[in-house]
Chain A
């Protein structure tokens, strides 16, 4: 939509104490210390930060609370935290550490009522549905959990529709096929989901260059873009991405550092 506000988000995938980056959610490489990168992106004018514990769902552990506690002391933009949140208690602990929103994937698939319980307690705006989508055909994607490893048999569009009715406030939609590949976003995935969604969609996975960004904004019609690889490897800066989006006709936050 012309004049639409969009958000530019940096996504930080975490394993243990490290910021990491994989390809198709696998083969993680250590990038560095999460707080260094978080501060850098904050100072560059990122609109939000998303922290994802890449292995918490697999091993049932969660190291994020400490990292978030530190971040919340000097980063004054919204923080979303996901990975390994299984219960209202887990979520409460993450909110107490300073998160503004939590992202649910594996636990929501196992028990959609958890979405409602969290939305009732913290408000829908604080509950992000995280979806890992794998392409099956040109118009059909399957929901995966546990960092893109476990197929669920659920159809992505139907699942998102259902999760919205349970009270999810936003969708972080990651294309497992494109994640970390720099081959561009899966545009048809986003435009299909946008047709049924009355809540904001955050695109994640595959940004290789600025043309990819324009594709996902103009044709995928997403409300926000989460970027990792492009920023971590200094291929693009948030400032440059912001100017580019503005030139496309989108409204972005003015930021002069």
Chain B
């Protein structure tokens, strides 16, 4: 099993991601130096908080170019929550901000009214079922089997990704009856909007599958 590098760019709780990966038997490095990251064989990009602050940190710490190069070289990357959103072209959170552009698409605010026009509270906090999208079978093997049962995962977010290529969407969930993209995969790039490290056994299954990619 490859060692997994968690990108430490100064935001959020890296500990729970590390504990989750370790519970799956992985060796984990927390990487805060961009030169270290160039040698990574498998990367987790975690994140909570604001998009623009996170991108600023990635830029200042010189992680941006390294992450793009790793993606070009087919190094597996798993983006979690804000880490998923950062992989895309741009976000409208507090203005318009450029992302890593590893995946094509935009990050937009969650709707504050349901399809039935009732008030819904943002952030979306809580457990929601993952509904497999058309190409769900190209996600991780084991996790995909679980997903056919519409496993619940823990979400905390105010923004969502809108991929340009809808074929990369593996699963979505419903928020006020709106479809919200929840897992994407494109080649070796994986990302989930929910927190696998906080999604009990299903989440650990996702992390374990990533360890085994």
Contacts and interface: CB of A to CB of B under 8 A. Distances in A.
Interface in B188-202: 195, 197-201
Given A47-B127, A200-B121, A76 B20 contact: yes
A133 to B, nearest CB: 20
B134 interface: no
A125 B126 contact: no
A97 B198 CA distance: 15
Contacts of A13: none
Contact of B127 (A170, A197, A253): A253
B147 interface: no
Contacts of A7: 125-127
Interface in A57-115: 72-74, 76-78, 95-100
B23 A224 contact: no
B150 interface: yes
A126 interface: yes
Interface in B110-163: 112, 118-119, 121-123, 125-129, 149-152, 154, 156-158
Given A74-B23, A76-B23, A126-B48, A254 B154 contact: no
B127 A100 contact: no
Contacts of B158: 124-125
Interface in B1-49: 11-13, 15-16, 19-20, 23, 48-49
A176 B19 CA distance: 36
Contacts of A124: 123, 158
A98 B16 contact: yes
B211 interface: no
A223 B121 contact: yes
Contacts, number: 95
A138 B49 CA distance: 38
Contact of A123 (B48, B118, B122, B152): B48
Contacts of A223: 121, 125-126
Contacts of A126: 48
What range describes how many residues of B lie at the interface? 35 or more
A150 interface: no
A254 B201 CA distance: 12
Contacts of B201: 76
A141 interface: no
B13 A170 contact: no
B76 interface: no
A244 interface: no
A77 B198 contact: yes
A30 interface: no
A5 interface: yes
Nearest to A5: B126
Nearest to B201: A76
Contacts of B123: 124-125, 169, 199-200
A197 B122 CA distance: 11
A72 B15 contact: yes
B50 interface: yes
Interface in A119-155: 121-126
A248 interface: no
A254 B156 contact: no
Contacts of A253: 127, 152
Nearest to B204: A76
A198 interface: yes
A224 B13 contact: no
B99 to A, nearest CB: 17
B125 A72 contact: no
A76 B198 contact: yes
Contacts of B195: 78
Interface of A: 1, 5-7, 42, 45, 47, 72-74, 76-78, 95-100, 121-126, 169-170, 197-200, 223-224, 251-255
Interface of B: 11-13, 15-16, 19-20, 23, 48-50, 112, 118-119, 121-123, 125-129, 149-152, 154, 156-158, 195, 197-201, 203-204
21 contacts: A5-B128, A47-B127, A72-B19, A73-B19, A76-B203, A77-B200, A78-B156, A98-B13, A98-B15, A99-B13, A100-B198, A122-B11, A125-B125, A126-B48, A169-B125, A198-B119, A198-B121, A200-B126, A223-B126, A253-B152, A254-B151
